[in-house]
Amino acid sequence: MPGVPKTTAFIRRQAEFVRRAGVDLDVFPFDGDKNPVKYLRAWAQLRRRLRAQRYDLIHAQFGQSGLLAFPKRLPLVVTFRGSDVLGIVRDGDGAYSRAGRMLQRASRFVARHADAVILVSAHLGDQLRTKAPVHVIPSGLDFTLFRPMPQAEARQQLGMDPHERVVLFVGRPHQARKRGDLARAAVELLNERMPARLVVAWQVEHAQVPLYMNACDVLIFTSMQEGSPNVVKEALACNLPVVSVNVGDVPERLRDVEGCELCADDEPATIAAALERVLKRGRRVDGQAAVRHLDESLLTEKVLRVYRSVLSEGRRRTLA
In a domain, 108, yes or no: yes
Q: Looking at the structure, do residues 179 and 82 belong to the same domain, yes or no?
A: no
Please give the DSSP secondary-structure letter assigned to residue 191.
T
Same domain? 166 vs 260: yes
Residues 263 and 209 in one domain: yes
User: Measured at the alpha carbon of residue 1, what is the angle toward residues 106 and 209, in degrees to the nearest 5?
Assistant: 95
- Whether the model clears a pTM of 0.85, i.e. scores above it, the answer is yes
Same domain, 115 and 161: no
Given this model, what pLDDT does residue 312 score?
79
pLDDT of residue 100: 81
Task: Read off the amino acid at residue 299.
Answer: L
C-alpha distances in angstroms, 234 versus 10, 172, 206, 313?
11, 17, 11, 37
In a domain, 99, yes or no: yes
Q: Are residues 303 and 274 in the same domain?
A: no
Low-confidence ranges of the chain (pLDDT < 50): 1-6
Q: Does residue 3 lie in a domain region? A: no
Task: Determine the structural domain holding residue 216 and report its residue range.
Answer: 151-293
Q: Are residues 192 and 250 in the same domain?
A: yes
Do 260 and 312 fall into the same domain?
no
Q: What is the pLDDT of residue 7?
A: 53
pLDDT at 120: 94
Domains in the chain, number: 2
Please tell me whether residues 308 and 282 are part of one structural domain: no
Same domain, 75 and 169: no
**Does 107 fall in a domain?**
yes
The per-residue pLDDT for 1 is 33
Residue at 38 is within a domain: yes
- Please indicate, yes or no, if residue 4 is contained in any of the structural domains: no
Question: Which residues in 59-91 are b (16+ Cβ under 10 Å) and which e?
Answer: bbbbbbbbbbbeeeebbbbbbbbbbbbbbbbee
Q: What pLDDT shows up at residue 315?
A: 59
Q: What is the DSSP string of 227-296?
A: SS-HHHHHHHHTT--EEE-S-TTHHHHHTT-TT-EE-SS--HHHHHHHHHHHHHH-----HHHHHGGGBH
- The phi, psi pair for 145, rounded to 5°, reads -100, -50
Say if 2 falls within a structural domain. Answer: no
Cis peptide before 71 (omega within 30 of 0): yes
Predicted local confidence at residue 145, as pLDDT:
94
CATH number of residue 209's parent domain: 3.40.50.2000
Same domain, 103 and 158: no
180 & 272 share domain:
yes
- What is the CA angle 72-76-77, rounded to 5? 165
Assess if residue 146 is contained within a domain: no
**CA atoms of 110 and 63, how far apart (whole Å):** 6
As a whole-number percent, the residues of the chain with pLDDT over 70 amount to 95
Which pLDDT score is estimated for 195?
Answer: 97
Same-domain check for residues 285 and 302? no
